[in-house]
Amino acid sequence: MRALLPTTTACLFLSCLAGSFAGSPAAPAPTAPTAPAAPAAAAIPAAGTSTDGDAAAKHAKRTACLKDAKAQKLVGAKKTAFVKDCVAGP
């Protein structure tokens, strides 16, 4: 019974290796090098774009609203409603 565990483990390990070699191609086919596509690079937003500014502005506004709610000592549903109205406002 003691020899069964190492034997089983070795068989499972070898079957995993055999399966990984069977699925891989022998040699990749050579292809002509191509230039990277310019539109794909343009799709990535640059650092400091308006989306970063919008997120930062929303965060700053929410933080200010939370400070106001704390100053007014609002809790629970009143605090939640105040923050929602404050953030949604101009």
The reported pLDDT for the residue numbered 50 is 63
Overall pTM surpassing 0.75 (yes/no): no
The reported pLDDT for the residue numbered 61 is 93
Cα–Cα distance measured from residue 80 to residue 77, given in angstroms and rounded to the nearest whole number: 5
The interaxial angle of helices 50-71 and 76-88, nearest 10 deg, is 140
Domain ranges of the chain: 49-90
pLDDT in tens, the chain (90 residues): 667 777 877 777 777 666 665 555 555 555 655 555 555 545 555 555 567 778 889 999 999 999 999 999 999 999 999 999 999 877
Cα–Cα distance measured from residue 88 to residue 90, given in angstroms and rounded to the nearest whole number: 7
Q: What is the pLDDT of residues 19-33, one digit of tens each?
A: 665 555 555 555 655
Angle at 13 (CA atoms; ends 7, 15), nearest 5 degrees: 100
